[in-house]
Amino acid sequence: MAPVASTPGPRRWLAAAALALGPLAALADKSAADYYVRNLPGVPNDQAPVKMHAGHIEINPDSNGNLFFWHFQNKHIANKQRTVIWVNGGPGCSSEDGAMMEIGPYRLKDENTLVVNNGSWNEFANLLFVDNPVGTGFSYANTDSYVHELTEMASQFVQFLEKFFAIFPEYSRDDIYIAGESYAGQYIPHIARAILDRNHERPDKWGLQGILLGNPWMSPNEQYDSYLKFAFEKGLVDKDSDTGKQLKGMERTCHTMMASDPGKVSYMECEGILTELLHATRKSGGGDQECINMYDVRLKDSYPSCGMNWPPDLSAVTPYLRRADVVSALNINSEKKTGWQECNGGVSSAFRPKTSKPSVELMPGLLSEIPVLIFSGAEDLICNHIGTEDLIENLDWNGGKGFEVTPGNWAPRRNWTFEGKDAGFWQSARNLTYVLFNEASHMVPFDYPRRSRDMLDRFMGVDISSIGGDPTDSRIDGEKIVETTVGGSVNPKESEEAVKKKLKEAKWAAYQRSGEVVLVFVVLGALGFVFFVWRQRRKGAAYSALRSEEPMGSRRHAAAADDVEAQEEGIALQSNILPTDKYSVGDDSEDDEPRPAKDGEKGKQASRSHDGN
């Protein structure tokens, strides 16, 4: 007969119950109110406030893995609720680049002053920025636990979303879009694939409606091959010169390596092409050497930076995000020991996929389930439009190849004008849309925030004709298709019916979550009573009733905190339980010492390669 466990029966029941119900109890540790951003330093006083939440969500307690997020509520709702999730690339570069320099509600005039971004993507969508993977930006983990594979990254991202939607159930039924740029061209397709696979197995499906990939690094074959095509076309290097011939030799070596070992995300033998190309553009100017900016070839930079000092806003973003009052406002955990880094060289060094597929191989499957939009800035070298257009031309999906719609006939490139100016072109076929932005860099929204938002709103199918507003003059082939801009204060156009529906859905989601939390305490309370009676009978002693306080994270505590959040915004809640890179840009890295270029990095030699973020 097996020995009896030494733990007394009732205690064993309590231990088992605590173990089984631990995950539900953990959800009660924090409510939405704990993430509320009450006062972001530098916000203009003369503007309607944007509701924000920010902080860390633990995804791996064993490795201390925490992902940081920053959420901005939409200004208006046009016919349905939408959320755009934004990630930057690197790998290892912070999505605060996207929040503070591209698509967020504010940009920095200087390190102390925020100004309104009139092209913010939160016009008709909630924005969720995530520092991904662990170790990036404000996210953190033990340094021996940085991510190595794209599949591992995607799995952790899904874990993050599970917990995010448990804390913020009111957003779990939104139409969801995932967007980003550069090495996010690897991240996002893998995340989308993981979400769709989850949806196939779960009844509580997330409404993934599409992905947007800006100047993406997706296919090594076409994109390594595009460096010299772009350089020769732009006149950066003479193809018949000694330098041009040397570069062609390096390209042949690259082709040989890719042919001998296909299916990798990056190749060391090919990375040197860009480095040598930038070296070939250096010239002396004013006593110092200059080279082209790899993210915008119209610009120059000091050699050997060649774009690492760009964009200019970065000089204000870094000190702003390291300010103690900003760190406090964003609810940064004390476990985050280092200050904000735009790009973490340690994360980038660790992220060298060996078994993951390049994202281009996932595209046919994704396109069979969701729409995809790829956009490119015409002046970017590192993830240039020629490589992107070549990979589309060579891609088979949904019964056809490239943009060929019938044998010998291709989907037209439709001219796009924005407020009377030539903005670029659109091309679409079989669930894939490609947009080229004229006179734009690696970071398209940095250059053209309002044009990029117009692109987003068209892709999401936003139509504000039923709710009023002043439409943007945006035309494709001369035709004004949708109206996508509304002026005025926050959420003035949301219909009463839409508000009621949103509150009702959020309330019932909150009831469900709160019910789970209450169930924890009911069950533990019942078991505690059994234990109490058992002890009474054993010892024959009488105990007076014990007075208990409401535990932190309980239903009442969470509701009270949410009420405080609502009152600070002047919002009256109807219910007390309603919860309220690849390539990088810039030169900031946690690596103190310079290091040679590595897999997955272009130009930004250790910190910001194929990403403008």
Residues marked active site are found at: 182, 380, 442
Buried b (16+ CB within 10 A) or exposed e, 221-232: bbbbbbbbbbbb
Query: 178, 188 in Cβ contact below 8 A?
Result: yes
What distance in Å separates the CA atoms of residue 272 and residue 478, rounded to the nearest whole number? 44
CA-based angle 193:195:197, to the nearest 5? 70
Query: Which residues, other chains included, contact 100 with Cβ-Cβ below 8 Å and sequence gap of 6+?
Result: 106, 107, 108, 313, 317, 320, 321
Query: 189, 366 in Cβ contact below 8 A?
Result: yes
What distance in Å separates the CA atoms of residue 601 and residue 216, rounded to the nearest whole number? 13
Cα–Cα nearest to 171, from 288, 24, 272, 73: 73
Sheet of strand 432-437, all strands in order from the earlier edge strand to the far edge? 52-60, 65-72, 126-130, 82-87, 175-181, 207-214, 372-377, 432-437, 421-429, 414-418, 474-476
Cα–Cα nearest to 484, from 500, 470, 498, 504: 470
Q: Locate tokens 């979550």: which residue? A: 513
Coil, strand, or helix at residue 426? Answer: strand
Strand 126-130 relative to strand 65-72, pairing: antiparallel
What distance in Å separates the CA atoms of residue 435 and residue 385, rounded to the nearest whole number? 10
**Residues of the chain by 3-state class (helix, strand, coil), percent to 5:** 40, 20, 45
Supply φ then ψ for residue 346, to 5 degrees: -65, -40
Coil, strand, or helix at residue 51? Answer: coil
**The two three-digit tokens of residue 6, written as one number:** 């030494």
Q: What is the DSSP string of 289-355?
A: EEEEETTEEEEEEETTTTTTT-STTHHHHHHHHT-HHHHHHTT--TT--SPP-SB-HHHHHH---SS
* Residues paired with 429 in a beta bridge: 432
Q: Locate tokens 């690897």: which residue? A: 186
Q: Is the peptide bond before 594 cis (omega within 30 degrees of 0)?
A: no
What distance in Å separates the CA atoms of residue 177 and residue 82, rounded to the nearest whole number? 8
Coil, strand, or helix at residue 594? Answer: coil
The DSSP H or E segment spanning 190 is helix 184-201
